């Protein structure tokens, strides 16, 4: 298909972009580039919804689960992702927890 930093579709092509359990693998600079690229391929009013890992609040659970899943740490919290999305130009950005303790979400709209 393509890579987040060079999505092979024209400007304003999609109504919705969904990212699931991918962003935590990327360094922050690539996340920023990716958010700008996602914004480029969204139609005005289009939306991005990203669901990804978040660190558990319990330190013991965090250590156990991150070791089991072979992730030494989650690189960005939903709050961090929301900030990056706003910097890229998304509007109405929201973030939060899901009912699954290890998952959070972030969403926003293209202007």
What CATH number did the domain enclosing 26 receive? 3.40.50.150
Cβ atoms within 10 Å, residue 67 = 10
Q: For residues 101 and 58, what is the distance between their CA atoms, to the nearest angstrom?
A: 10
Domain that holds residue 79: 14-109
The reply to whether 1 falls in a domain is: no
What pLDDT score does 59 carry? Answer: 84
% of the chain residues with pLDDT over 90: 71
- Model pTM score: 0.87
Number of domains in the chain: 1
The reply to whether 45 falls in a domain is: yes
What pLDDT score does 69 carry? Answer: 66
- pLDDT surpassing 90 at residue 43: yes
The reply to whether 6 falls in a domain is: no
Give the pLDDT band (50/70/90) at residue 25: confident
What pLDDT score does 85 carry? Answer: 98
């Amino acid at each position: 298909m393509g890579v987040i930093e060079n999505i092979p579709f024209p400007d304003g092509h999609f109504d919705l972009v969904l990212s699931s359990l991918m962003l935590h693998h990327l360094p922050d600079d690539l996340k920023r580039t990716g958010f700008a690229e996602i914004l480029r391929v969204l139609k005005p009013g289009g939306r991005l919804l990203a669901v990804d890992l978040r660190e558990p609040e319990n330190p013991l659970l965090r250590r156990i689960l991150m070791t089991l899943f072979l992730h030494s740490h989650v690189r960005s919290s939903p709050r961090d992702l929301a900030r990056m999305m706003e910097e890229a130009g998304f509007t109405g950005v929201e973030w939060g927890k899901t009912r699954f303790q290890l998952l959070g979400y972030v969403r926003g709209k293209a202007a």
